[in-house]
């Protein structure tokens, strides 16, 4: 039933665009699974049963998403703080030679 879709997906990985996307997989998707195993204890299931194992996986994914959101927000706050500081820095001009004026921050 799925053979046609599998063939199309396989053919896509051999196009130039598909190769670029697939090369980024190890930097994003595979890194996330490695972090789950190493940093969040997903190497072993803590509880028995399929439902409880799925619960552990979902909680681990939720934690990783919260960490990602916190990192994005903290970087945004840092950049906004830097921009605010740059607005209030005093600027002065000094002669650049031959009648030109150079502004320095």
pLDDT digits (tens, 9 = 90+) for 46-83: 889 999 999 999 999 999 999 888 888 888 777 777 77
Q: Is the pTM of this model over 0.95?
A: no
pLDDT digits (tens, 9 = 90+) for 21-30: 888 887 888 8
- What distance in Å separates the CA atoms of residue 60 and residue 4, rounded to the nearest whole number? 34
Among 69, 49, 45, 71, CA closest to 59: 45
Among 104, 77, 79, CA closest to 92: 104
- What distance in Å separates the CA atoms of residue 70 and residue 51, rounded to the nearest whole number? 29
Q: How confident is the model at residue 4 (pLDDT cuts 50, 70, 90)?
A: very high
DSSP code at position 72: H
Place of tokens 């209030």: 88
């Amino acid at each position: 039933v799925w053979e046609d879709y599998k063939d199309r997906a396989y053919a896509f990985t051999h196009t130039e665009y598909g190769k670029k996307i697939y090369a980024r997989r190890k930097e994003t998707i595979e890194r996330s699974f490695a972090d789950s195993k190493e940093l969040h204890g997903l190497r072993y299931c803590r509880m028995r049963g399929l439902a409880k194992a799925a619960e552990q996986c979902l909680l681990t994914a939720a934690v990783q998403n919260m960490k990602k959101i916190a990192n994005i927000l903290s970087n945004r706050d840092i950049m906004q703080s830097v921009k605010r500081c740059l607005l209030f820095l005093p600027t002065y001009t000094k002669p650049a030679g031959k009648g030109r004026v150079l502004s320095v921050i």
